[in-house]
Amino acid sequence: MVNSSNAALVDAPQPGSPALARKPWRVRGEGWFLAVAGAFTLAQLTLVRPGMGLGWDETVYISQVSSHAPPAFFSAPRARGVSWLVAPITTWSSSTALLRTYLALLSGLGLFLALRAWRGVLPIRVVALGGALFATLWVTVYYGPQAMPNYWVAIGALACVGCFLRARADRADRWAPWGMGVSAALMAVMRPTDAVWVALPLLALSVWARRPLLPTALLAGLAVGAAPWVIEAYTGFGGPVQRLADASRVQGGLGWHLAVDDQARTLDGRTLCRPCTGPPAHLAVAAWWYALPVFAALGTWVAIRARRAAPALVLVACATTAAVPYLFMIGYAAPRFLLPAYALLAIPVADALVHLVTAPRGRWRPFAVTVVALGLIGHLTAQLVVLTHTANRTHAGHSDWARTAGDLHRLGVRPPCLLTGHLAIPIAFYAGCSAAHTDGNNANTTRAELLRAARRAPFGVLTPPGSAPPGYARTWPVRRYDHADLYVAPSAR
């Protein structure tokens, strides 16, 4: 049972009532959540091409468990969660379409479970609308079917906060603490540092509530999820402290960096802004981003007036801590970094929108409904335009990598083969080769070791278009592409 302070927030009748028996899906709320999750899955399968090739980071994660290519260098900031997530497909199939379909279905299921964790905490219509707002952002639809960790951190964060609020309100809810632990473990196995940032307000509130079970469940989940990362830190990086230092170096040195304007530049579909130059995204596609804190504040005010302030305040607190490192501590931007914050803020925003269409009386209500509907239509249209443009551009770029890999095979660079240089990691994956670097963030060998390995296997060097190759490759045959110049060792033939 939910305590009396929260009972008014629940739309559905209690279990066992006649209404619940007549319309189980509609009354319990799962029907609305299932509709949102189903529409989200369908959007991924239709708007993000299932055959869209794999991106750079995806090839790194997938190569760890792939039957198609050797493992790529796994740098300090990464965690193994994504690799394990895709392993049921990639260990036996190299089909990108199959992988995208699997991830789209899985991400839809994840959204459904995260929304379901909020049953009994807020009105069903608010939670369902919040889920729909999050699921219709171009960045959510774009990354849902990709082998990347940020969407899963967002789902874990949304579920964890919902379970925390349920456990806090109802001591008899035996499943909520378990949900907290599982959700925290999901976040931590995907990105341990992000999980810690999201969990900070929950941990503080759990301790303050003097409920030992809550911080125990939260810390246990974080520990279980982060354990592989910590173990790997000792075995491969010299310990967690050194791994964190290495991760900071790879990310350009964590510290005070004002990246708010960098994030604004990514809203038009730039998936990575490093270095981040150029103007911010056009206001027509970025208006939602500037309005997000305003509507989140309005939703919080609505919740306070309705005497259900706790959910909104906890959501805003966790969204803030999730966003801080990517807005103020990193020198570049990618829109996927803020997915956890978007997922958490979507519910207060939904509360604000519901209030805007239900609070007015008389002749003002149709006017309010019309204004909100037109605003949402414009927002969804902009999201669709950005998503379509981004997916098409990505598909074209990945197709170029696949064509380069095909040329490598025709030139004699076939497995077991070795590539180094510009774009070597993704193109090596497409070609089934190993990738090696002697400098930069992905350095995993020395020049002498690289040349020794090159004598034992077909070898190619990739450089940025028009750039000079290493001295040992200057006399090699070259093929030029828009994205790279390819130098192939004569021994490859």
Alpha-carbon distance of 319 to 338, in angstroms, equals 9
> DSSP letters along 426-452, please?
HHHHHHT-EEE-SSSTT--S-HHHHHH
Which residue blocks in 447-491 are alpha helix, DSSP H? 447-456
Instruction: Give the residue-averaged pLDDT of 151-168.
Output: 97
Query: Tens digits of per-residue pLDDT, 303-332?
Result: 999 999 999 999 999 999 999 999 999 999
Alpha-carbon distance of 43 to 139, in angstroms, equals 12
Is the pTM above the cut of 0.85?
yes
**Which carries the bigger pLDDT value, residue 18 or residue 37?**
37
Q: Strands, E, within 307-431: which ranges? A: 418-421
Q: Supply the pLDDT for residue 473.
A: 93
List own/partner pairs for 182-185 with CB under 8 A and 24 or more apart: 182/221, 183/114, 183/117, 183/156, 183/157, 183/159, 183/221, 184/156, 184/160, 184/217, 184/218, 184/220, 184/221, 184/222, 184/225, 185/221, 185/222, 185/224, 185/225
3-state SS of the chain: helix, strand, coil percent to 5? 65, 5, 30
Band of residue 492 on the pLDDT scale cut at 50, 70, 90: low
Whether 215 shows a pLDDT value over 80: the answer reads yes
Q: Supply the pLDDT for residue 491.
A: 77
| Identity of the residue numbered 459 | F
Q: Supply the pLDDT for residue 435.
A: 96
Q: Which helix (H) or strand (E) holds 480?
A: strand 478-480
Instruction: Give the residue-averaged pLDDT of 259-268.
Output: 94
Residue 57: which of 81, 28, 23 has the closest Cα? 81
Whether 252 shows a pLDDT value over 60: the answer reads yes
Query: Tens digits of per-residue pLDDT, 435-447?
Result: 999 998 899 999 9
Query: Tens digits of per-residue pLDDT, 286-295?
Result: 999 999 999 9
Alpha-carbon distance of 50 to 146, in angstroms, equals 10
| Identity of the residue numbered 325 | P
Q: Supply the pLDDT for residue 114.
A: 98
Band of residue 210 on the pLDDT scale cut at 50, 70, 90: confident
Tell me if 400 sits within 8 A of 422, measured CB to CB: no
**297 CB-near residues (< 8 Å, 6+ apart):** none
Mapped onto helix, strand or coil, the DSSP state of residue 38 is helix
Whether 449 shows a pLDDT value over 70: the answer reads yes
The b/e string for 333-349 (b: 16+ C-beta within 10 A; e otherwise) is: bbbbbbbbbbbbbbbbb
Tell me if 114 sits within 8 A of 152, measured CB to CB: no
Alpha-carbon distance of 207 to 190, in angstroms, equals 25
How many residues make up the chain in this entry? 493
Whether 25 shows a pLDDT value over 80: the answer reads no
Alpha-carbon distance of 344 to 162, in angstroms, equals 10
> DSSP letters along 103-153, please?
HHHHHHHHHHHHHHTTTTTS-HHHHHHHHHHHHTSHHHHHHTTSS-SHHHH
**374 CB-near residues (< 8 Å, 6+ apart):** none
Count other C-beta atoms under 10 Å from residue 450's C-beta. Answer: 19
Sign of CA dihedral 445, 447, 449, 453: positive
Whether 266 shows a pLDDT value over 90: the answer reads yes
Q: What residue spans define the domains of the chain?
A: 4-359, 401-492
Whether 7 shows a pLDDT value over 90: the answer reads no
Residue 226: which of 244, 205, 252 has the closest Cα? 244
Whether 240 shows a pLDDT value over 60: the answer reads yes
| Distance of alpha carbon 493 from the chain centroid | 42
